[in-house]
Each structure stands twice: as structure tokens, then as C-alpha cells.
Chain A
Amino acid sequence: MTNQDILVVLPEIVIALMACFILVLDLYLPATKKKKFGYGLSLVTLMVGAGLSIVYSEPAPVYGLNGLVLMDSLSAILKVGICISTGFVLVYSRGYADARGLWKGEFFALALFGVVGMMVMTASNHLLSLYVGLELLALCLYTMVALRIDSTAASEAAMKYFVLGALASGILLYGMSLLYGLTGTLYINELSASIVRHDGSTLPRTMALILVLVGLLFKIGAVPFHMWVPDVYEGSPTSSTVYLATAPKLAGFAIILRLLADGLGSLATEWQGMLLVVSIISLALGNIIAIAQSNIKRMLAYSAIAHVGFFLLGILTGEVSGYASAMAYILIYAVVTLGAFGVILALSSKGVEADLIEDYSGLNQSHPWAAFIMLLLMFSLAGIPPTIGFYAKLSVLQAVVNAGMTWVAVVAVVLSVIGAFYYLRIVKVMYFDDLATSHPGLQFRPKQDARILLTINGLAVVVLMPWIGKLTTLCEGAIEVLF
């Protein structure tokens, strides 16, 4: 083990150690200090993790641990994104989780272990390390969904997630094993070349490809492997929903890019057609079913399905600009979704989940600032200019059109317009409906730190607009070195 081996995975090591430390510390600290220490230490850990990812980043891939993991600007950017968004999650969740007795050592440890899993996913160059990262994250997520033991909905959601996740993992592993059988290697960077070298029947090759693809699509929740998404989003405590709705999407992007675009890049013509079907039915189903939802968390779940469909459009172009636009899309999506769940969390209080759309009627009258932040975020999710959500959609569509698939862009735009309905309905409910009287009104009482972050997060979707071109440049730079 050389120095370089350690440097490549240094952020992961630090966070994993700190997660253990926090877990142990939780046993020995007095009850009053537990929360404060755990919270503070977790935030510091995440910041250190992000900092280390930046400090030791290399533009060109640097391999470590016998090539199991690598470090390049793609993994650096995504690791930073994962750490920061998890930090936001912790800040936003504090009030909510505290009121429900979830704010304890397990939460921090699970969140941090999940971060380690995601970081390994982004950095893996080997099917095994990729799978280990994936499962580490998945186990943390199953547990976090079930964290609220007094809630049957949460237990049910966790159970479903676990069963289906296990099924998907099995499919993925089967595909990986076929790949190994075909190529004799587990290294992702060698996969592409050796799979072409293999001649003979294409049957095992195609099977391997499809099974791996299905496993990946399950993880990011694309149709028809999306069935878990709405139930899990709705059933889990919102503090867990916000966690699994944001950072894992970044990690999911990373494994799709590494395994599909890079490792199986030579089979691009085969997976492009399937991704096309998947992304269009994801867009259609996600956007259309979201309209019928009355629960905002469930609505955002379908919205997530639709957004996954959109970002897959960028992937299926098979070009650097398409990958870069998808990356920018998913980063922007993470920022906006964080804010949206942040508002939901900030409006929840003890006994009030704030998860029904009708709860939001007349919010502008009682809490104009919260309503305004929500308005910006909804506009951004719908892709209305001048928000960054518009830019995200625009760059993906641009890539799709440049790849010569104009009709796909047209379909995507039409479906996005249908999707705009349910985002705008939230705005309409907040601004034009009368204040709800039948049930307890929402209280906007986030902690001070959450309030500040939420304001920054909400305004960022508009304020960042002039510099958003830099994000694309960054993403393009990160992806160019891969190809």
C-alpha cells in the first residue's frame, strides 16, 4: 500500500472513521450533549471530506488500491456535491427529526456511512468496489427509511425497498458475473476493450448488458423499475426522504457514467435504444401520474422519476456534451430538490407532517417568505426561466438536438409542459387559494441555520443563473478526460 493508495481514498477513510467515532461517542456522551456533538461532528466531517476531495483531486485519473478505485475530477466534483448536499440534509432535518425522536447517533452514522458508500461508487474502477459501495449505501438507506419505528408506513416502505432492492441487486450481480465470464476482468476501464474482443454469440453479451442496465435503472428509479420510489418517498420520515432524494442521485449518475458510458461504451448502440424507451416512459409516467397526487412527497417522487427520465436523455446521446449536460442536470436537480424538501421540513412541526398539498393553501398569507422560496423552487423544477432548472433542461435538450434526435427533444418538452402543471399547482395553491381552516395551519419555524441555508438555497436557483455556464464548463472538463 503506497502513499498514493491512501490519498485516493482519503476522504472515504476519514468519513468512515468519523462515522464509527460518532457511533461510539453516542454511547458515552450524556443525553443533552449527544445531539449537539453528533450534529457538529457530522458537519465537520462532511466539510473535511469535501475539502480533502478538492485538495487531493487530480484532473486525470489516478488509480489506487490495485486499481480498485480511482480519482479524477468527475469523482472529485461528485464527492464534493455528495458531502455538501448531505450537510444540507442534516441542517434541514434537524428540527423535524428532533421533534420525532430521530435525531440521534444512528442517524448521523447512517448518513455518513451512506456518504462513504456513495463516494466509493463515484470513485470505483472495479465492479466489486462499485457493488460494495452500492450495497453500503443501500443498507444505510433501508435503515434510514425504517428509522421511525413507530410508523407502520415507514416500516412498510422500508420492507418494500429492501425486497425490491435485493431483487435488483441480484439482477445487477448476475449481469456483472456474466460480464466477468465474458471478459475475464472486473476492471471497468478494461471492460470496454475486452468485450469487443470477445467474438462468438452475442447472446451472453446482450444479457449481461441488459441485466446490468436494469440494476442501474432500479437504483436511480427509472420506469419500469420505479415502483419503489413513490412508496418510499412517502412512507419514510421526510428527513430520510430528503437524504435519499438528493445525494444518491449523484452517485447513481456516477455509476451509470462509469459502467455504461465508459465500461460498456463499446456497446453504446445497444443501450442507447433501451435508454431512449426508458427515459421517454419515465418522463411520461412520472409527469402524468404526479398530476393525480395529493401528497407533496409522493408528487415529488413522481417528479424525481420524470427528472431521471430527463437526465437519461443526456446520457443516451452518447456524446461528451450530452454526458456533461446530464451531469449539470443532476447537480442542479439535487440543489433544487434539497430546497423543496427543506421547505417541507421547515414547515413541519411536532405532529404536523406538512406533506399534503392542501396544507399549503394560502401559505403566502401566513408565511410569504416560505411561499416565495417554494415558488422559486417549483419554478426551477418546472424549468421556467430565469431559474437554473430552465438552464438544466435547456442544455440537455441542446445536446439531444445536436445528436440529431429532434423529435425526442420535442417529446421531452411536451411532457415537461404537462409536468409544469403540478409544480404550478403548488404555486397556485400557495398564492391564490384561501388559507386552510379545516386543519392546523403550517408553522414556518426552522432553526436559524436551516433558515439561512434555505434562503440561500431558494435564492440560488435564480441568483446563480449568470454563472451557470461555468458549471457546464466544469462538467465538460471533468468528463472529457474520461474519453
Chain B
Amino acid sequence: MKVIYLLVPLACLVAAIIAGFWGAKIGNSATHRITITGVGLSFVLSVVVLFDVLDGHSFNGSIYTWGTSGGVSFEVGFLIDHLSAVMMAVVTFVSLMVHIYTIGYMRDDPGYTRFFCYIALFTFAMLMLVMANNFLQLFFGWEAVGLVSYLLIGFWFKRESAVAANLKAFLVNRVGDLGFILGIAAVMYLFGTLDYSAVFSAASEKQNAVVTGVLGYEWSWITLICLLLFVGAMGKSAQVPLHVWLPDSMEGPTPISALIHAATMVTAGIFLVARMSPLFELSTTASSVILVIGGLTALSMALVGLVQNDIKRVVAYSTLSQLGYMTVALGASAYSVAIFHLATHAFFKALLFLAAGSVIIALHHEQDMRRMGGLRRYMPITYITSVIGSLALAGIPPFSGFFSKDAIIEAVHHSNIPGAGLAYAAVLMGVVVTAFYSFRLIFMVFHGEPRMDKQARSHLKESPWVVTVPLVLLAIPSLLSGGFLVESVLGGHFLGDAVAQGPSAGEGDHLTAVGLMTHGFLAAPLWLALGGVFLAWIFYVRVPSLPGNVSQRLSLIYRILHRKYGFDQFYQWLFASGGVRLGEWLWKRADIALIDGFAVNGTANMVGWFSRVLKRLQTGYVYHYAFVMIIGVVVFLSWGLWS
């Protein structure tokens, strides 16, 4: 099996290298054949691994020792258990779909081979991240996916907005990564090792270790580590207030929005916390923070989604909101539920993005929903798959999202740590909003009168098969994976012992998918979701003038939402302009005036001046020379005789 584990990431890496270095030489079709073969192989092997793990086999060992320093060895190693196997399968499946889809989406792009190289490289990095058995390799994968994300957001590097967006993503992620690496350093300091299993087994005995911080306040080491690691997770999984980069990342091509900024990379933070669940279980403080942050993200970002008109941005804000849901689940110690939602979300969100991309290419890169409408007649496959995705997102049974979201809401409901009440309210309200904006999108894009210009309408047709086949293939798990997996999730078998079990695990052992659905009709979330869909129908189909009126009446709220709570402006003012101003000040005062002017050139000038002065001592008169000698003798004599 070791060979198979190794082959899973390496197949992608080799494909990426070939596509990257020889892509231009071997041509477009050979490039996509090679990368799809590589990723396809990864997918097949990941499925093999998944079944092997389900059979009860797991693996934890190092493959290669990278270096040893001061008794600590840095290793490349794999930890294959339920958690990583599920992640591998999800990542490679979505990646494979996106690879196929890209053939159609990027057909005429001059950067075709570069794009394939990047996404294959991304798959490799993501696999290294999820398969890691130590913090160092985790960090490698973490940074590598960040790098590829940066490269892909700025894929169209001639667009100013794309360059600004990738810079923003990079900088915001730096903030998170700083916390992350500090967390790793803290782990290193406390445990003396970077190996997961060693850290986890030693964690409980270090539970009471404290560090005295500033002002003499005592921190629990574990809490400190968890919070630092979670800061990293917040950056990558775009939690408030580090979420600002994700909507802008939509500047990248749609396939990577689906792959990286919806299905896989942004869930790395969720994965991280789930992976570290034995640590997080030991810190209620950290769990509370996670709950609150997740709840805030889930509701506030869903609200912003209501007022977006760019089709991709709607989906992007829904991603933010759903990531908030997953975070809430983590905070409620329902780690397997979080991963469950991660998996179902990966399918339906990738589906929604790819469907949005399909619409975008059909309309020749038009992204404004106000210039769409009535597309269901022209694009039936895209329409049906989008509806499936939206139903899953809104949480309507029997679609997958219903089960995972319901499980999250239940978990929060049962949690009684500080912040749980707030998070519960947030996720419940979020359900209405989610259903509303999902169907707002469906109704605006696919129903009503076509609002695009004549020329665009005359070219409307369904996308080619390389686009629609991935849609269909993603629609299947979006529909089925929830019901299929929910029993094992609630029974606590889903991730085996890969994650720590929360206090409520095992309670739902008697539940079945069908039972859950019938139970759903008696519970609030489903009715809230249906209410949201109904509202959307009234607003955008029944009474199309309503949205304008409402936004005028509630213009203050509308403006706040439209401005996304002012995060961007605030960051721009404080960090971007402030940073520039500070830099300018330091440059002029500290660098030019103090360091260059005073320290460096000042010293040089002083030495030069001194040199010219001393040079005058050399008068050329021999009696001066003799005088200096005599003075020297006298000085030495008096010194010697004195002491």
C-alpha cells in the first residue's frame, strides 16, 4: 500500500512538471491528456485507499527523512486514516471533474498549459497537506496550496483587478500563516516533536501547562496552540475577519474558483482543526472562539450574499457562509459532522461554480445576473444541475446538504459551551438566508424574461459535453452523498478514530436517512429553508418589483450589506494606506535620514573629514617629526613611571 500512497500525490506532481516544463512543446491536447491521466490515476488510487481504510487498515509512517537537527527529525510521512482517505477521495474527485471541465472552459486561453500545470500542482500540494503525518509537511502543503492559489487568482495577470486580488489573498493569508507557524513553533516548543501521533498522545499530560504572557496573565499552552493554529485556519478558510480575500479571488478562472476557492483549499482550515481535534478537545476556550467566529461568518456572509449581483460572487459568499457552518460544527466538537459537510459542500459547491461557469461561457463572460434570465430553455442540463446544487445548498431533503447541515444545527443545539447559543441562532437564521440567495440566483439566472442583449441571446446554447459531463457527475454525489453517509456520521463511524469524538457522538446511532427526513419535517430548519425558497420566489418571480422597493425602504441595511460591512475599506485604510504611510515615514526618516544619512554616510563623512584633518599632522618638517617622537617618548615615560 505504501507505493499506492506515494503514487497518489506523485502522479499529480509528475503531471504538473510535464505540463509546466514541456506543456508548450507537447501542445494543448497532450497536456490535458497527461494531467487528466495523472489526476485520474490519483483518484482511482484514492478510492482504492478509501476502501482499504474502510476495511480497517490504516497507516502512519515516514517515507523519507528530510533532515535531522538537534534531535528533531524532519520527515516526509503519511498518516492514512478515515479522515485523510475521505479528503483524498474528495480532493481527487473534484479535481478530476475540474480538469475535464477546464478543457471546455479554457479552450481558447493562451495560458492553457500553464493552467493545467497549476491545477495538477495544486492537487499534489493539497494531497500532501491532507496526507501529512507531521506539522512540517502540513505546513509545506499549506504554503504550497497558498502559492498555487495565488498564482491562479492572478492567472490573468494582465488584468489589474486580478493582480490586486491575488496580492490581497496573499497578504491576508500571510496574517493567518503567521499564526499558523507560531502555532507550529509552540507545538515544537511544548512537545519537542512535530509528529502528530506523538503530539496527540502527549497532549493530555500537557493539559495543565501554562505560559505566563504579557501583564502576567496565564495562558494554557494548549489553548494558545489551538488559537494560533486556528488563526491559520481562519486565514485559509476565510473566516471573519480574515475573509476579505475570498470574494476577490473570483478574479481567477471559474474552474479554480470551484476547485480551490470552494471545494478544497479553503476547507484546509476545517481539515486542520479536525486533524488537530485531540488538541482542540482539550481547550474549551478555543472551541468557544471557534463557535463564535464560525457563527458570525455563517450569518454575516450569507447576508452579504443577498445583495450581490455578480453570479460568482453570490456563490463565493455562500462558500464563506458554508465555511462558517463547518467551523461552527468544529466548535461544537462535531468534527466528523464538519468533515461530512465539507465533503457534501465540496460536491454541490463545485457543481454550482461549474454551472455558473457554464452560464458565463454561454453568455461570453457576462457575470452580472441582472443581464441574465430565462436561461432554462437554452441550457437545460446546466439548469437542472444548478437546481440540484441549490437545493443541496439550501438544505432541502433528500439532497446531501440537508443531512450535513441538519447534523451541524443539531450538534450546535446540543453543545453547551459558551457561545453555543449565539452560534445556534446564527446558523438557524443562516438557513433562511441561504435558501433565499440560492434561489434568488436560480430565479434571476434561469427564470423570468431574458434580459441580455439580442446578439448574446442569439448565440445562446448549451455548453459542450466536457462542461456538462462534470456537472452531471458532480450532481450525483450532491444528490446522494448525504443520505448515503449520514448514518455512519451520526453513528460516529464516519471517521473512525481519526478525530476526537465530541460529547454528543453516538447518540444518533439508531437514526436512518429516511427517519431523519421524516423527522426533518417536524423541525425548524427545513421549514425555514422552504420559507427562504418561497420568499425568493415571491421576490424574483411573483412580484419582480419587490426587491427594488425593499432595498429602498431598508436603504441603510442595504448599503451596509452592499459595502460588506466596510471590511475592505477599513483594511484598505488601516493596513494598506497605513502601511504605505508608515513605510514612507520609515523610509524618509529612518532609512534616508537616520541610517543612510547619519549612520552610514555620516560615519563615512566623519572618517573622511578626520582623515583630512589628520593628514595635516604630516607637515613634512623633520623637526615636527622629531617633536612627535619626543612627545611619544615623554608620554610613555610618564605613563610608565606613574603606574
Q: Which residues of A come within 8 Å of B, CB atoms?
A: 159-160, 163-164, 167-168, 171, 203, 206-207, 209-211, 213-214, 218, 224-225, 227-228, 230-231, 270, 274, 285, 288-293, 418, 421
Given contacts A210-B636, A211-B633, A285-B614, contact A228 B625 (CB under 8 A): yes
A210 & B618 in contact (Cβ 8 Å cutoff)? no
B637 & A207 in contact (Cβ 8 Å cutoff)? yes
B94: min CB distance to chain A, Å: 55
Can you list 16 A-B contacts with CB-CB less than 8 angstroms, sorted by A residue number?
A: A159-B622, A164-B629, A206-B637, A207-B637, A207-B641, A214-B633, A218-B629, A224-B631, A224-B632, A230-B618, A270-B640, A274-B639, A288-B607, A289-B614, A292-B611, A292-B614
- How many A-B pairs have beta carbons closer than 8 Å: the answer is 74
CA distance A290 to B611 in the complex (A): 8
B640 & A206 in contact (Cβ 8 Å cutoff)? yes
A291 & B607 in contact (Cβ 8 Å cutoff)? yes
Given contacts A231-B620, A289-B614, contact A274 B640 (CB under 8 A): yes
Bitwise, B551-563 to A at CB < 8 A (1) or not (0) is 0000000000000
Give the one of A211, A270, A291 with max B CB within 10 A. A291
Chain B residues closer than 8 Å to A160, beta-carbon distance: 622, 625
B615 contacts chain A at the CB level, 8 A cutoff = yes
Chain B residues closer than 8 Å to A218, beta-carbon distance: 629
B621-643 residues at the A interface, CB under 8 angstroms: 622, 624-626, 628-629, 631-633, 636-637, 639-641
A207 & B640 in contact (Cβ 8 Å cutoff)? yes
A171 & B633 in contact (Cβ 8 Å cutoff)? yes
Chain A residues closer than 8 Å to B615, beta-carbon distance: 289, 292-293
B628 & A224 in contact (Cβ 8 Å cutoff)? yes
Q: Which residue of B lies closest to A213 (CB)?
A: B636
Q: Which residue of A lies closest to B637 (CB)?
A: A210
CA distance A237 to B610 in the complex (A): 30
Chain A residues closer than 8 Å to B639, beta-carbon distance: 274
B626 & A163 in contact (Cβ 8 Å cutoff)? yes
- Partner of B636 from the list A214, A290, A291 (CB cut-off 8 Å) is A214
Chain A residues closer than 8 Å to B611, beta-carbon distance: 288-292
B629 & A203 in contact (Cβ 8 Å cutoff)? no
The 9 A-B pairs of least Cβ separation, nearest first, read: A227-B625, A224-B632, A292-B611, A291-B611, A206-B640, A292-B615, A160-B622, A288-B611, A210-B636
B612 contacts chain A at the CB level, 8 A cutoff = yes
Chain A residues closer than 8 Å to B626, beta-carbon distance: 163-164, 167
Chain B residues closer than 8 Å to A164, beta-carbon distance: 622, 625-626, 629
B629 & A224 in contact (Cβ 8 Å cutoff)? yes
CA distance A214 to B610 in the complex (A): 26
B203: min CB distance to chain A, Å: 45
Q: Which residue of B lies closest to A422 (CB)?
A: B611
**Further 11 A-B residue pairs, CB within 8 A, beyond A160-B622, A207-B641:** A206-B641, A210-B636, A210-B640, A214-B636, A218-B629, A224-B631, A228-B625, A231-B618, A288-B611, A289-B618, A421-B604
Chain A residues closer than 8 Å to B614, beta-carbon distance: 285, 288-289, 292
B608 contacts chain A at the CB level, 8 A cutoff = yes
Task: Report whether over half of chain B's contact residues are helix, strand or loop; otherwise say mixed.
Answer: helix
Chain A residues closer than 8 Å to B632, beta-carbon distance: 214, 224-225
CA distance A225 to B633 in the complex (A): 9
Chain B residues closer than 8 Å to A213, beta-carbon distance: 636
CA distance A288 to B615 in the complex (A): 9
B622: min CB distance to chain A, Å: 5
B107-145 residues at the A interface, CB under 8 angstroms: none
- Partner of B640 from the list A168, A209, A230 (CB cut-off 8 Å) is A209
Q: Which residue of A lies closest to B631 (CB)?
A: A224
Chain B residues closer than 8 Å to A291, beta-carbon distance: 607-608, 611
Chain A residues closer than 8 Å to B636, beta-carbon distance: 210, 213-214, 274
Q: Which residue of A lies closest to B623 (CB)?
A: A163
Q: Which residue of A lies closest to B635 (CB)?
A: A224
Chain B residues closer than 8 Å to A159, beta-carbon distance: 622
CA distance A163 to B637 in the complex (A): 22
CA distance A176 to B607 in the complex (A): 40
Chain A residues closer than 8 Å to B628, beta-carbon distance: 224-225, 227
B610: min CB distance to chain A, Å: 6
B629 & A418 in contact (Cβ 8 Å cutoff)? no
Chain B residues closer than 8 Å to A167, beta-carbon distance: 626, 629
B237: min CB distance to chain A, Å: 49
Given contacts A227-B618, A270-B640, A274-B639, contact A288 B610 (CB under 8 A): yes
CA distance A119 to B139 in the complex (A): 69
CA distance A163 to B625 in the complex (A): 10
Chain B residues closer than 8 Å to A224, beta-carbon distance: 628-629, 631-632
- Partner of B641 from the list A168, A203, A290, A292 (CB cut-off 8 Å) is A203
B470: min CB distance to chain A, Å: 60
CA distance A218 to B641 in the complex (A): 21
CA distance A209 to B643 in the complex (A): 14
Chain B residues closer than 8 Å to A211, beta-carbon distance: 633
Chain A residues closer than 8 Å to B641, beta-carbon distance: 203, 206-207
CA distance A421 to B615 in the complex (A): 17
Q: Which residue of B lies closest to A160 (CB)?
A: B622
B567-605 residues at the A interface, CB under 8 angstroms: 604
B627: min CB distance to chain A, Å: 9
CA distance A418 to B622 in the complex (A): 29
CA distance A171 to B610 in the complex (A): 31
- Partner of A168 from the list B604, B608, B624, B629 (CB cut-off 8 Å) is B629
CA distance A225 to B632 in the complex (A): 7
B640 & A163 in contact (Cβ 8 Å cutoff)? no
B311: min CB distance to chain A, Å: 60
Chain A residues closer than 8 Å to B640, beta-carbon distance: 206-207, 209-210, 270, 274
B335-359 residues at the A interface, CB under 8 angstroms: none
A53: min CB distance to chain B, Å: 34
- Partner of B608 from the list A203, A227, A270, A292 (CB cut-off 8 Å) is A292
B633 & A418 in contact (Cβ 8 Å cutoff)? no
Q: Which residue of B lies closest to A207 (CB)?
A: B637
A39: min CB distance to chain B, Å: 35
B506: min CB distance to chain A, Å: 67
Chain B residues closer than 8 Å to A228, beta-carbon distance: 625
Chain B residues closer than 8 Å to A290, beta-carbon distance: 611
Chain A residues closer than 8 Å to B607, beta-carbon distance: 288, 291, 418, 421
B633 & A227 in contact (Cβ 8 Å cutoff)? no
A225 & B620 in contact (Cβ 8 Å cutoff)? no
CA distance A163 to B629 in the complex (A): 12
CA distance A57 to B516 in the complex (A): 104
B618 & A225 in contact (Cβ 8 Å cutoff)? no
A225 & B629 in contact (Cβ 8 Å cutoff)? yes
Chain B residues closer than 8 Å to A292, beta-carbon distance: 608, 611-612, 614-615
Give the one of B607, B628, B636 with max A CB within 10 A. B636
CA distance A167 to B622 in the complex (A): 11
Chain B residues closer than 8 Å to A209, beta-carbon distance: 640
Chain B residues closer than 8 Å to A206, beta-carbon distance: 637, 640-641
Q: Which residue of B lies closest to A168 (CB)?
A: B629
CA distance A221 to B64 in the complex (A): 63
Chain A residues closer than 8 Å to B624, beta-carbon distance: 227
CA distance A210 to B635 in the complex (A): 10
Chain B residues closer than 8 Å to A227, beta-carbon distance: 618, 624-625, 628-629
B626: min CB distance to chain A, Å: 6
Give the one of B614, B615, B620, B632 with max A CB within 10 A. B632
Q: Which residue of B lies closest to A163 (CB)?
A: B622
Q: Which residue of B lies closest to A171 (CB)?
A: B633
CA distance A210 to B640 in the complex (A): 8
CA distance A225 to B630 in the complex (A): 9
CA distance A167 to B625 in the complex (A): 11
Give the one of B608, B618, B624 with max A CB within 10 A. B618
A356: min CB distance to chain B, Å: 16
B28-44 residues at the A interface, CB under 8 angstroms: none
A80: min CB distance to chain B, Å: 33
Q: Which residue of B lies closest to A291 (CB)?
A: B611
A156: min CB distance to chain B, Å: 8
Chain A residues closer than 8 Å to B629, beta-carbon distance: 164, 167-168, 214, 218, 224-225, 227
